[in-house]
């Protein structure tokens, strides 16, 4: 380590994966206690005149050993127990701009469930109503069908191109309803109901191929259902002949029974997601995350935590799984590890229960989390010590978040609002 007066120096080489902002790859002597602001000024000063003129002053972020620098370099190196005698490789990239508040859509009660698809947003509310919005903030349809708060919902699949969309809604009334929405006529049909749970239906998730959906309930059970709209899949008459409906009763909806029911949780199921076509993961109030083998109808593994797990989200690209917990933390798991070392990172910043998490649809390192502290946070897995940004605006606890559309982050809360934040991801930041 070199010294310049009273300030020690270290040797560092800078590199980037982004085009148009490269600097010489020779080592530079930098102060040992340098921070992000000083490093950003250095990179700006090293850019060629053409690059500097085309981009103007740029704010940069810096990655050392795969982690964002969020403290002075000397503190980072001490925490990592890294050598200061060798040249330090530092990757730099343009700092991600902050998400911007786009809209706030008012509901009549708590917003408990969200699902976005293309240009449309579904919201489930404690007033027992489902609503369909567009991303311009227009209310397209109000759907009263349940007799209890709507706790979960999901888009199923398109029919006839974009002319019709189908979705499923689950409720505290212990039922699920499958809907067909014609976008051209803005008309809606309830195709059938799904009955079988004996408690509030709190989570629903659709299989990767769209052929099935999975539900979890306060009755501690996990159920798999057919997503087909063909009424031949409505097998309740065969399963429960004592409850046969009159075929002439055209007012009654076809009622569907589950393809499979799995038990094992000792408390309510709070979240479910498809890992792949044959494996589903569930989170529960019993402090466990369980993975289920649907082909054999058995539990294949379990992860135990210290507190209630409230939500799960999986990254399609890396297969890493996020879990939101009542202990105020978000944890990153590798569910493929079964030797007890499955926690990859812990993200700590919320001050109350973390109610919901959602991966970015286009960036395998980024996700959002919503909490009872009324704050929505944007995280990068390379910055476990601090979120990239806090997004405020809710006046009560956040109950649901959704990041299905790359350009919009959604959060719904007990302040009766759906908040929409616009987001312009740096395309060049997305790893290959």
pLDDT at 2: 54
Rounded Cα distance between 285 and 414, Å, is 20
Rounded Cα distance between 381 and 363, Å, is 10
pLDDT at 164: 85
In sequence order, the 6+-apart residues with CB closer than 8 A to the CB of 41 are: none
pLDDT at 173: 98
Pull the structure tokens for residue 252: 């009654």
- pTM to 2 decimal places: 0.91
Residues lower than pLDDT 50 in the chain = 160, 236-250, 428-432
Q: Residue 249, Cα to own-chain centre: how many angstroms? A: 42
Spatial CA neighbour of 351 closest among 333, 329, 336: 329
Spatial CA neighbour of 157 closest among 114, 202, 213, 201: 213
Are the beta carbons of 267 and 286 closer than 8 angstroms? yes
The length of the chain, given as a count of residues:
432
Containing 132, the helix (H) or strand (E) segment is strand 129-134
Distance of CA 177 to CAs 14, 204, 251, 302, 380, Å?
55, 11, 15, 30, 36
Identify the three-state secondary structure at position 37: helix
Spatial CA neighbour of 176 closest among 139, 211, 213, 141: 213
Are the beta carbons of 284 and 269 closer than 8 angstroms? yes
pLDDT at 53: 67
First to last CA, the chain: 35
pLDDT tens column, 275-307: 999 999 999 999 999 999 999 999 999 999 999
Spatial CA neighbour of 179 closest among 234, 248, 127, 227: 227
**Domains of the chain with bracketed CATH:** 2-94 (3.10.20.90), 100-429 (2.130.10.10)
Identify the three-state secondary structure at position 390: strand
Which burial class, exposed, middle or buried, applies to 423 when counting CB atoms under 10 A from its CB (0-12, 13-18, 19+)? buried
pLDDT at 116: 96
Distance of CA 247 to CAs 239, 250, 252, 386, Å?
16, 7, 9, 60
């Amino acid at each position: 380590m070199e010294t310049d007066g009273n300030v020690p120096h270290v040797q560092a080489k800078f590199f980037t994966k982004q085009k148009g902002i490269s600097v010489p790859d020779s080592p530079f002597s930098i102060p040992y206690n340098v921070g992000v602001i000083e490093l950003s000024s250095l990179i700006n000063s090293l850019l060629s005149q053409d690059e500097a003129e085309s981009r103007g002053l740029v704010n940069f972020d810096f990655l050392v050993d795969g982690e964002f620098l969020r403290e002075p370099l000397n503190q980072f190196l001490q925490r990592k127990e890294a050598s200061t005698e060798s040249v330090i490789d530092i990757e730099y990239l343009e700092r991600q701009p902050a998400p911007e508040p786009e809209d706030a859509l008012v509901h009549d009660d708590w917003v408990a469930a969200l699902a976005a698809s293309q240009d449309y947003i579904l919201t489930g509310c404690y007033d027992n109503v489902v609503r369909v919005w567009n991303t311009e903030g227009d209310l397209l349809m109000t759907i009263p069908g349940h007799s209890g708060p709507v706790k979960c919902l999901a888009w199923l699949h398109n029919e006839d191109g974009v002319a019709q969309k189908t979705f499923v809604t689950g409720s505290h009334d212990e039922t699920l309803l499958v809907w067909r929405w014609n976008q051209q006529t803005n008309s809606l049909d309830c195709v059938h109901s799904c009955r079988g749970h004996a408690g509030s239906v709190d989570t629903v998730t659709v299989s990767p191929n769209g052929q099935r959906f999975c539900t979890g309930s306060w009755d501690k059970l996990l159920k798999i259902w057919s997503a087909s709209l063909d009424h031949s899949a409505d097998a309740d008459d065969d399963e429960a002949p004592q409850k046969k409906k009159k075929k002439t009763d055209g007012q009654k909806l076809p009622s569907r029974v589950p393809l499979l029911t799995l038990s094992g949780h000792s408390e309510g199921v709070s979240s479910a997601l498809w890992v792949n076509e044959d494996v589903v993961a569930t989170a529960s109030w019993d402090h466990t995350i369980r993975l289920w083998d649907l082909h054999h109808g058995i539990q294949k593994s379990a992860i135990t935590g210290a507190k209630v797990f409230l939500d799960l989200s999986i990254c399609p690209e890396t297969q890493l799984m996020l879990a939101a917990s009542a202990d105020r933390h978000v944890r990153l798991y590798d569910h493929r590890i079964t030797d007890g070392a499955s926690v990859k990172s812990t993200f700590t910043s919320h001050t109350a229960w973390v109610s919901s998490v959602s991966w970015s649809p286009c960036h395998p390192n980024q996700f959002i989390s919503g909490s009872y502290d009324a704050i929505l946070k944007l995280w990068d897995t390379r910055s476990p010590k601090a979120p990239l940004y806090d997004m405020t605006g809710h006046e009560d606890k956040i109950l649901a978040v959704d990041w299905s559309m790359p350009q919009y982050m959604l959060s719904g809360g007990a302040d009766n609002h759906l908040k929409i934040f616009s987001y312009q991801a740096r395309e060049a930041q997305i790893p290959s």
